[in-house]
Structure 1
Amino acid sequence: MYEPGTEQINCNGTFIALPSLEVVRSAPKMPSDANIDWLLHIYFTRREFTRCRRLIERELNRHLNPEYLYFVQGLIDREEGNHIEALRHLQKSVELNPRNIETYKEIGRTLYLMGRFNQALGVFREAEQRSSRPDHEIYHYLGELLYRAATTQGQKELANQQQAEARSYFELAVQSGRKQESYIRLAELYRKDKQYQQAIDVLETCLHLTPENSEVLIEISVLYLKINETQKAHDRLAEVVSIERKCSPKGLLAFGAILQSRNDVDGALSKYSQIAQAEPEIAELWNNIGLCFFKKQKFIVAISSLRKSVWLSPLNYNALYNLSLIYIAFCLRKLDDMENAFVALERASRMATGQQGGGRNPLVVLNFALFCYETGRLALATEQYNRFMSQAQDLLLPTEYKFQATKLKSLLRISNQGNGILLDSADLQQSDLGENRSKELLPDELPLEVNAVVSRN
Structure 2
Amino acid sequence: MYEPGTEQINCNGRLIELPSLEVVRPAPKMPSDANIDWLLHIYFTRREFTRCRRLIERELNRHLNPEYLYFVQGLIDREEGNNIEALRHLQKSVELNPRNIETYKEIGRTLYIMGRFSQALGVFREAEQRSNRPDHEIYHYLGELLYRAATTQSQMEVARQQQDESRAYFELATQSGRKLESFVRLAELYRKEKQYQKAIELLETCLHLTPENSEVLIEISVLYLKINETQKAHDRLAEVVSIERKCSPKGLLAFGAILQSRNDVDGALSKYSQIANAEPEIAELWNNIGLCFFKKQKFIVAISSLRKSVWLSPLNYNALYNLSLIYIALCLRKLDDVDNAFVALERASVMATGQQGSGRNPLVVLNFALFCYETGRLALAAEQYNRFMSQAQDLLLPTEYKFQATKLKSLLRISNQGNGILLDSSDPEESESQQNGFQELQPDDMPLEVNAVVSQN
TM-score > 0.5, shorter chain as reference: yes
Alpha carbons of 1:182 and 1:238: their partners in 2 closer, same or farther (altered >3 Å)?
A: same
Alpha carbons of 1:424 and 1:141: their partners in 2 closer, same or farther (altered >3 Å)?
A: closer
Alpha carbons of 1:444 and 1:252: their partners in 2 closer, same or farther (altered >3 Å)?
A: closer
Give 4+ residue runs of structure 1 displaced > 4 Å after superposition: 1-31, 335-359, 365-452, 454-457
Matched residue, 2:215 = 215
**Contact 1:352 1:361 (C-alpha < 8 Å) held by counterparts:** yes
My pick for the range that moved more, 317-326 or 339-348, is 339-348
RMSD between aligned alpha carbons? 11.9
Identity %: 90
Alpha carbons of 1:261 and 1:393: their partners in 2 closer, same or farther (altered >3 Å)?
A: farther
Distance apart, 1:431 and its partner CA? 12
Distance apart, 1:112 and its partner CA? 1.3
Query: What whole-Å deviation, never above 9, does each CA across 1:46-85 have from its counterpart, x for those lacking one?
Result: 1111211222222223222111111111111111122222
Alpha carbons of 1:439 and 1:156: their partners in 2 closer, same or farther (altered >3 Å)?
A: closer
Alpha carbons of 1:419 and 1:301: their partners in 2 closer, same or farther (altered >3 Å)?
A: closer
My pick for the range that moved more, 242-251 or 16-25, is 16-25
My pick for the range that moved more, 305-314 or 40-49, is 305-314
Query: What whole-Å deviation, never above 9, does each CA across 1:15-64 have from its counterpart, x for those lacking one?
Result: 99999999999999855352421111111111111211222222223222
Alpha carbons of 1:438 and 1:312: their partners in 2 closer, same or farther (altered >3 Å)?
A: closer
Alpha carbons of 1:420 and 1:406: their partners in 2 closer, same or farther (altered >3 Å)?
A: closer
Distance apart, 1:399 and its partner CA? 14
**Contact 2:139 2:172 (C-alpha < 8 Å) held by counterparts:** yes
Alpha carbons of 1:320 and 1:30: their partners in 2 closer, same or farther (altered >3 Å)?
A: same
Alpha carbons of 1:80 and 1:403: their partners in 2 closer, same or farther (altered >3 Å)?
A: farther
Q: What is the TM-score when the length of structure 1 is the normalising length? A: 0.75
My pick for the range that moved more, 66-75 or 380-389, is 380-389
Where 1:9 maps in the other structure, the secondary structure is strand
Matched residue, 1:62 = 62
Query: What whole-Å deviation, never above 9, does each CA across 1:322-355 have from its counterpart, x for those lacking one?
Result: 1111111222343599999999989988997899
Distance 2:427 2:387 in 1: 21
Distance apart, 1:3 and its partner CA? 57
My pick for the range that moved more, 405-414 or 442-451, is 405-414
Where 1:455 maps in the other structure, the secondary structure is coil
Where 2:421 maps in the other structure, the secondary structure is strand
Where 2:235 maps in the other structure, the secondary structure is helix
Distance 1:21 1:407 in 2: 119
My pick for the range that moved more, 328-337 or 167-176, is 328-337
Alpha carbons of 1:319 and 1:355: their partners in 2 closer, same or farther (altered >3 Å)?
A: closer
Where 2:415 maps in the other structure, the secondary structure is strand
Distance 2:255 2:43 in 1: 49
Matched residue, 1:23 = 23
Alpha carbons of 1:294 and 1:9: their partners in 2 closer, same or farther (altered >3 Å)?
A: farther
My pick for the range that moved more, 421-430 or 321-330, is 421-430
Matched residue, 2:268 = 268
Distance 2:17 2:409 in 1: 103
Alpha carbons of 1:112 and 1:10: their partners in 2 closer, same or farther (altered >3 Å)?
A: farther
Matched residue, 1:74 = 74
**Contact 1:43 1:51 (C-alpha < 8 Å) held by counterparts:** yes
**Contact 2:396 2:422 (C-alpha < 8 Å) held by counterparts:** no
Distance apart, 1:217 and its partner CA? 1.0
Aligned residues: 457
My pick for the range that moved more, 359-368 or 228-237, is 359-368
Distance 1:3 1:222 in 2: 100
Alpha carbons of 1:347 and 1:76: their partners in 2 closer, same or farther (altered >3 Å)?
A: closer
Distance 1:174 1:332 in 2: 54
Within a 5 Å distance, the mapping from 1:361-372 to structure 2 comes to 361-364=361-364
My pick for the range that moved more, 126-135 or 297-306, is 297-306
My pick for the range that moved more, 318-327 or 131-140, is 318-327
Larger Rg over CA atoms = 2
**Contact 2:321 2:364 (C-alpha < 8 Å) held by counterparts:** no
Alpha carbons of 1:120 and 1:297: their partners in 2 closer, same or farther (altered >3 Å)?
A: same
Q: What is the TM-score when the length of structure 2 is the normalising length? A: 0.75
Query: What whole-Å deviation, never above 9, does each CA across 1:99-158 have from its counterpart, x for those lacking one?
Result: 111111111111111222111111111110000000001111111111111122222211
Distance apart, 1:215 and its partner CA? 1.0
Where 1:414 maps in the other structure, the secondary structure is coil
Alpha carbons of 1:272 and 1:244: their partners in 2 closer, same or farther (altered >3 Å)?
A: same
**Contact 1:203 1:220 (C-alpha < 8 Å) held by counterparts:** yes
Alpha carbons of 1:302 and 1:214: their partners in 2 closer, same or farther (altered >3 Å)?
A: same
Distance 2:250 2:5 in 1: 72
**Contact 2:136 2:176 (C-alpha < 8 Å) held by counterparts:** yes
Alpha carbons of 1:256 and 1:409: their partners in 2 closer, same or farther (altered >3 Å)?
A: farther
Where 1:443 maps in the other structure, the secondary structure is coil
Query: What whole-Å deviation, never above 9, does each CA across 1:215-265 have from its counterpart, x for those lacking one?
Result: 111111111111111111111111111111111111111111111111111
